[in-house]
Structure 1
Amino acid sequence: MAASVEGKLPNLDSLKKLVRDDLRRILESKHGAKDLFIDPTLMKPIDRIANVKFLQDHGVEKIYKIDSSKPVQGNRERFYITRPKVISIKYIVEQMKAEKSAGQDRHYTIVMVPRSLYICEKILEQNGVFGWVTIETLSFNLLPIDKDILTIELDFFYSSYFLHHDETWLHTAASALVALQQEFGKIPNFYAIGQAAKSTWQLSQTLLDCGPDITGVPKQIGHVILIDRDVDLVSPLCSQVTYEGLLDDIFGIQCGVVQFDKSVTGADNVMKVPLNSDDWLFQEVRNKHFSTVFKELSAKAKDLQKSYDKKDEMSVAQMKDFVAKRSQVIKGNS
C-alpha cells in the first residue's frame, strides 16, 4: 500500500472504529449480562480493537476460548465470535446440545468473522440447532497494527489456497480491499503478481461495483501492490537479523504485540508490549541489525542514568520528558 500523491498516510485507526462500532451494535442487540466465547485465532485481533473494559461496558461478564471443553455454567445470553470454520461450528453445536439436554435455557448468538458461510449454516441445520441461534457477521477484514501496516490475520491462507486449492478466503482479501476503498477512496493503481492476486483484485472490483457509490470519498491511497506468497518462497525461510526479527524469532509477535512471561520479567502476570512507531526507541532500532542494537540500547540507558543523576536540577517539564523516555527504554530492553 502506498500513500496518496501528497505523501500523507491515511488515518488507519478509523478502520478500528468501524469494527468497534459494529461489535458494539451486536453486543447491545441482546440485553443483560453475557458470556463471550472467542475463536482462539481471533483472541488477539479482538483485543486490539475492543479491550476487556470495552466488552465489560457492553454486558460481557466472562470470556472463554472456543474449544472442545465441556459446557460451563453462565449467563442466559451466550455470544460466540468465530471464523466460519467447520471445526469451530461443531464445537459450538456440541456445547449447545449438551446444555439443552441439561435443561439450560439460553439465547445463542453466533458472530461470524468476517462473513457467514453456507457450510456453517448447513451444519447448524443438520444438527437441529439452527432455530436456536441468531447469526450475525462482523466485517473484521483489516487490523491496523501501526501507522502504515495493516494485517488480515489469516495465517492459514497459504495452506488453504496454495496447498488445498480452497478459494474461500480470497473473498476475505477482496473484501479487505473494498473496505479500504470505502474508507479512503478508490485506489487508482493496482498491480497484481500471481493468480491469487489477480483473482483477488477482480473480485474486489465486482464487490465494489455492487456496493455503495464511493466516488465522493477523497482518494488517500495511490497504489496497491498484490503479490502471491508462492512468488517468493525463500524469504520466509531466511533468518531474521533485525532487532524486531529477533524478538519475533525468540518470543513471537502476534498482531503487533510481543508477550513476556515470568521467565523474562520475574512477575506472575504476562507483560504485553505493542511494537509500533509510537514507541520512539523501538522505531529507531526495529530495522537495525541486532548485533548493533544492544550497544545502542546500552548507550541510551547510560544517557538516561546520567539524566537521572541530575534529576534534582531538572525543571518540571524536563522531569516529565525524562520519565517518558525512561519508560520507553524499559520497553525497548524488555
Structure 2
Amino acid sequence: MTSHASTRVLSELSASAIASTLDARNRDALVTAIASLSRRGGDGAVALAMDGAVANGLVRCTRDVARRLRDEARVRRFYALEPRGELPAEDDADAVAFAVRPQLSAMVTIAEHVRGVRDRRERALRERARRAANANRTKTSARDAAASLLTRVASGAMGKSESASRDRASGDAAMDAFSEVPPLPKMCVVCVPRATAMCEDALRELHALEYVEMTSCDAHLIPVEPDVFTLEYPECYSEIVTEEWHACTYYVAAALHKLQRDVTGLAHVVKGKGEIAHKVAQLMLELRLGGQADDEPEHVEPGVDGDSLIDMIVLIDRDVDMVTPLCTQLTYEGLIDEILGIEKGAVAIPKRAFEDEETRERKAREAEANLPEEQRGKMPVRARAHKAGEIAMRPKLNNTDKLFDEIRDLNFGRACNVIRDLATAIKEDYAAIKGSNVEDQHVSEIGDFVKKIKANIGGTGLDLHATLAKYLIDCTKKIWFQDRLECERLCVEGEDLKKVIEHIETMIYRGDEAVPCLRMIVLACICFNGFPPKVHEKLFSDMFNAFGPEIMLKLLALETAALFVDREAAKKRPRGFAQVRKPLKLVADGVDGSEEPKDITFAYSSSGYAPLSCRIAEAATRGPWKTIAPNNTGEDVLKHLPGDTFEYTQTENDYGRATNTKASYREFNKRREKAAPLDGKDELWPKPTVLVFFIGGVTHAEIACLRHLAKTKECGCNFVVATTKVFNGDALLDTCGEDAERLETRLRVAHDTGGAPPS
C-alpha cells in the first residue's frame, strides 16, 4: 500500500479530481502507444486513423492529447477511419496507426486500408518496372533474346506451380530493386482498451495480420464531464439483449478495477441490480484475485487514513429500466438531444431555427410542392438532427458555457424562465446606461455591460440559448409532440391501452419515421406487460406495410429482447414495471416543471414520472436492499424487475487475499452523518461519493436527476455517473438488431475472405 505521507489532501477528494486523473492517464496511454510506433518507424512521421468511438471519445474529450500526439508521437495527420476508404496517396508518412475499438467492423475496415496501401505500392512498382523494361527494350541484344528463349524453354520443363513461384519471386526481387519507390509504412493497430484474440483472428482471416502489429491502449473510462465518465460503447445494450454477446462485462469490470486500483482506492460497498451487473461484480473480484496473483500494484489509498474517493459503487443494467430512455426528456439538455440530437458534444442547429414560424411553414410547403406527386403528403412529421436541413452552426455544449452549465439540468420551462430573466436584465442595464447622462456613468459600469454583451452575442451565451429555446418551444407546440407526451403519460400510468394503440397507429399511418414509432411500441409493451395477441400481430403487420422488409430486422431483434411481444411471451421474461410503479412511487400528480423541483419528477414533468433507475440508485444509498420498502420487503419489490439483486463489501481476509463479505454500511453512514450538519461543505468531512454505473447507457435526464438528488439534504451524498454511452431513446433503438451497416460489414467480410457471410 502507499504510505500515509503520499496521500492526497482532502480538497482533491472530488469528482473533478477523479476526472482530471483519468484524463491524464488516458492521454499518457494513447501518446505512449503511438510514440512507440513512431520510434519503430525510425522516428518518422505518423498518420493516425481513428474510428468514431476513439475520435469522438478519447481524443475529443481528453485535454491536450492532439498537441501531445503531434509533439511527442510525431503525428502529422489525423484521419477518420471510414469503411471502404484508404489513406490519401500524397500521405508519405513512415508509419500508420489505426486507433480503434476491438470490434469486427473496425478490423474489416483496417484490412481494407492495409490492402489499399499495399496495392498502391505494388502499382507503383509495376509502373516503374514497365518504364524500365521499355527503356531497356531497344538495347536488348540478339544474345539476350536467345538467352531469354532458352530460359522460357527451361521453365516449361518445370512444374507449373514451381515455375509460377519462381516468376513471382524474381518479380518481387526486381520490383524491390527500385529504391525510389518507398517501402510499405510501418502499420500498427492500437486497440482501445485492449487487443483481443477475436481481432487477431479477424485480421488473419482477412489476410492483413502479417502487415500490421497489434498493441493495446489501456484507456477505459473517458471523462466527458467532471462527474460523467463513459466507455463510448454504444452497441453494449444491443449486444447483450439481441445477440447475447457479453463482451461488455469484461470492459466494465476492467474499467472499475483499474479505476479503484489506480485512482480512487477500493470502494467499501458494491451493490446492484441486473444479470450483467451481477456478472460484472463477480468479474471484479476475479480481477482483484488475478492482480494479487500477478503481483499487480495494490489499490491506492488516496484519502486521509486510507479513505477511498468512492464510498459505494451501484451497478444498474439498462434492461432493468427500459421505460426511462423511451420517455421524452424534458430537461433543457435532454430536450435538445431529443429534438436536434447532441453528437460529439455539439448540437447541429439548422438554419430554420433562426427563422420565424411562418417562414418555416412556407418553406416546408414549397419543399413539398417540389416533390413528385406520389411523394407528397408522405414527408416525415418529425425529422431527426441529420435530416433537419442545412446546418447553420455546431456549437459545443459543455460546462465551459456558463449559461448552459446553469440551465442544462433544469426543466425546460424553468430554463426558459432563466433565459428570459437574463435577457430582461441586460435590456434594463442597457436602458439605464442609455437613459443616464454620460458624466454620471462610471467607466467600470459601462465596461461590465460591454463584457456582458460580448459574452452573449454571435452564437454564444444568451444569443445561442435564446435561439435554441425559441426553436424548441416551437417544436413542443406541435400536435405530434403534445400527442406523444400524452401517450407517454398513459403508458407510465398504465391506463387505457386502447388509446395508446390508437396513437401508435396514427403515428404509423401519418408517416412518422420508423424509430419514433418503435419507441412508442416498446414503451407500451413494457408498461402494459405485453400486447394482446391480435394487437401484437396487427402492429407487426402495420410496421411491415409502412416501412418495408427492412423493418423486419428491428422487429425480430426487439422480439428476441422481449421488448415487442404478446402477453403470453411477456410472462416468460417479465419486466415488472407495473408491479413496482406504486411501491417505488414512480408516478406523481400535478408536477409543475417551471417551479423549484421537490422531486426528480421534474425531468419528465408532463407525465410526473420519476426515473426508475434513479429511484433504485437513491434507494441504494439508504442501506440494505430490503430496507427500501416498508416491513423490509425491498428485495421482494425488486424481484419483479429483471436480473439479480446483490450487495457486498470489498475487503481482504486474514491472509490478505481479496474477498467479498456481507455488506456493511457502517462506514458509509458514519461519513454521511458527520457531513450532514455541514452539508459536505467542510473539506474535513465531505459527503460520501457514490459511483452509479449504467451498463447499457444513460440519458441526460437521468444524469440531471442524480445531480438534483445530490443537492438534497435527504440524500446526503454526491453522485458520479459512469456508463457505456450517453444517449437518448432513438439512439438506443437504432443500435438494436441488424441494420444496413451491420449487413454491409458481414458482406465485406464474406467478400474479403472468399466465404459465406458469418452468421
Letter of the 2:233 counterpart: L
Query: Are the equivalent residues in 2 in contact too, given 1:307–1:322 (CA < 8 A)?
Result: no
**Structure 2 CA distance for partners of 1:190 and 1:133, relative to 1, 3 Å:** same
**Is the helix fraction higher in 1 or 2?**
2
**Structure 2 CA distance for partners of 1:282 and 1:33, relative to 1, 3 Å:** same
**Structure 2 CA distance for partners of 1:54 and 1:229, relative to 1, 3 Å:** same
After TM superposition, the structure 1 stretch with the greater mean CA deviation from structure 2, 46-55 or 164-173, is 46-55
In 1, Cα distance between equivalents of 2:28 and 2:46: 18
* 2:50 aligned partner: 38
Q: CA deviation at 1:269?
A: 7.9
* 2:22 aligned partner: 15
Provide Cα deviations, 1:227-286, integer angstroms capped at 9, x if missing partner. 11111111111111111111111222245x22335625899884331323x543223322
* 1:169 aligned partner: 248
DSSP-derived class of the 2:330 partner: coil
* 2:297 aligned partner: 212
* 1:84 aligned partner: 102
After TM superposition, the structure 1 stretch with the greater mean CA deviation from structure 2, 145-154 or 309-318, is 309-318
In 2, Cα distance between equivalents of 1:198 and 1:89: 30
Residue 260 of structure 1 pairs with residue 345 of structure 2:
no
**Structure 2 CA distance for partners of 1:69 and 1:215, relative to 1, 3 Å:** closer
In 2, Cα distance between equivalents of 1:254 and 1:201: 31
Residue 48 of structure 1 pairs with residue 128 of structure 2:
no
**Structure 2 CA distance for partners of 1:7 and 1:189, relative to 1, 3 Å:** farther
* 2:396 aligned partner: 273
**Structure 2 CA distance for partners of 1:253 and 1:179, relative to 1, 3 Å:** farther
Larger-gyration structure (1/2): 2
Provide Cα deviations, 1:52-104, integer angstroms capped at 9, x if missing partner. 44443342222222222342322231111111111211121122123213326
Query: Are the equivalent residues in 1 in contact too, given 2:277–2:317 (CA < 8 A)?
Result: yes
After TM superposition, the structure 1 stretch with the greater mean CA deviation from structure 2, 302-311 or 209-218, is 302-311
After TM superposition, the structure 1 stretch with the greater mean CA deviation from structure 2, 42-51 or 181-190, is 42-51
CA RMSD of aligned residues (A): 2.9
In 2, Cα distance between equivalents of 1:297 and 1:223: 37
Q: CA deviation at 1:184?
A: 0.9
Q: CA deviation at 1:114?
A: 1.1
**Is the strand fraction higher in 1 or 2?**
1
* 1:313 aligned partner: 442
Letter of the 1:206 counterpart: E
The 5-angstrom pairing of residues 1-334 of structure 1 reads: 9-10=14-15, 11=17, 12-29=19-36, 30=38, 31-45=43-57, 46-49=59-62, 52-57=66-71, 58-71=73-86, 72-73=88-89, 74=91, 75-103=93-121, 105-181=184-260, 182-209=262-289, 210=291, 211-218=296-303, 219-254=308-343, 257-261=345-349, 263=351, 270-276=393-399, 278-308=400-430, 310=433, 313-315=442-444, 318=448, 322=452, 326=456, 328-333=461-466, 334=468
Query: Are the equivalent residues in 2 in contact too, given 1:84–1:113 (CA < 8 A)?
Result: yes
Q: CA deviation at 1:19?
A: 0.6
DSSP-derived class of the 2:23 partner: helix
Q: CA deviation at 1:329?
A: 2.8
**Structure 2 CA distance for partners of 1:332 and 1:22, relative to 1, 3 Å:** same
Query: Are the equivalent residues in 1 in contact too, given 2:102–2:195 (CA < 8 A)?
Result: yes
Q: CA deviation at 1:215?
A: 4.9
> Which has the higher relative contact order, 1 or 2, with Cα contacts under 8 A spaced 6 or more apart?
2
After TM superposition, the structure 1 stretch with the greater mean CA deviation from structure 2, 90-99 or 233-242, is 90-99
In 2, Cα distance between equivalents of 1:314 and 1:275: 33
DSSP-derived class of the 1:169 partner: helix
**Structure 2 CA distance for partners of 1:44 and 1:215, relative to 1, 3 Å:** closer
Provide Cα deviations, 1:131-151, integer angstroms capped at 9, x if missing partner. 322212112211112222212
Provide Cα deviations, 1:138-171, integer angstroms capped at 9, x if missing partner. 1221111222221222111101112211111111
Q: CA deviation at 1:51?
A: 5.4
Letter of the 2:46 counterpart: K
Query: Are the equivalent residues in 1 in contact too, given 2:222–2:229 (CA < 8 A)?
Result: yes
Query: Are the equivalent residues in 2 in contact too, given 1:177–1:204 (CA < 8 A)?
Result: yes
DSSP-derived class of the 2:223 partner: strand
Q: CA deviation at 1:201?
A: 1.4
DSSP-derived class of the 2:218 partner: coil
In 2, Cα distance between equivalents of 1:117 and 1:25: 19
Letter of the 2:21 counterpart: S
Large movers: runs of 4+ above 6 Å: 265-269
Letter of the 2:276 counterpart: A
Instruction: Using structure 1 for the length normalisation, give the TM-score.
Output: 0.87
Q: CA deviation at 1:331?
A: 4.7
Query: Are the equivalent residues in 2 in contact too, given 1:39–1:65 (CA < 8 A)?
Result: yes
In 1, Cα distance between equivalents of 2:299 and 2:407: 39
Instruction: Using structure 2 for the length normalisation, give the TM-score.
Output: 0.40
Q: CA deviation at 1:298?
A: 2.0
**Structure 2 CA distance for partners of 1:325 and 1:221, relative to 1, 3 Å:** farther
Task: Number of aligned residue pairs: give it.
Answer: 328
Query: Are the equivalent residues in 2 in contact too, given 1:67–1:88 (CA < 8 A)?
Result: no
Unaligned runs of 5+ in 2: 1-9, 122-182, 356-389, 435-440, 469-759
Identity %: 23
Letter of the 1:56 counterpart: R
In 1, Cα distance between equivalents of 2:69 and 2:354: 28
In 1, Cα distance between equivalents of 2:269 and 2:408: 30
**Structure 2 CA distance for partners of 1:113 and 1:301, relative to 1, 3 Å:** same
Q: CA deviation at 1:318?
A: 4.1
Q: CA deviation at 1:185?
A: 0.7
DSSP-derived class of the 1:221 partner: coil
In 2, Cα distance between equivalents of 1:27 and 1:158: 31
DSSP-derived class of the 1:288 partner: coil
Unaligned runs of 5+ in 1: none
Q: CA deviation at 1:325?
A: 5.6
After TM superposition, the structure 1 stretch with the greater mean CA deviation from structure 2, 50-59 or 186-195, is 50-59
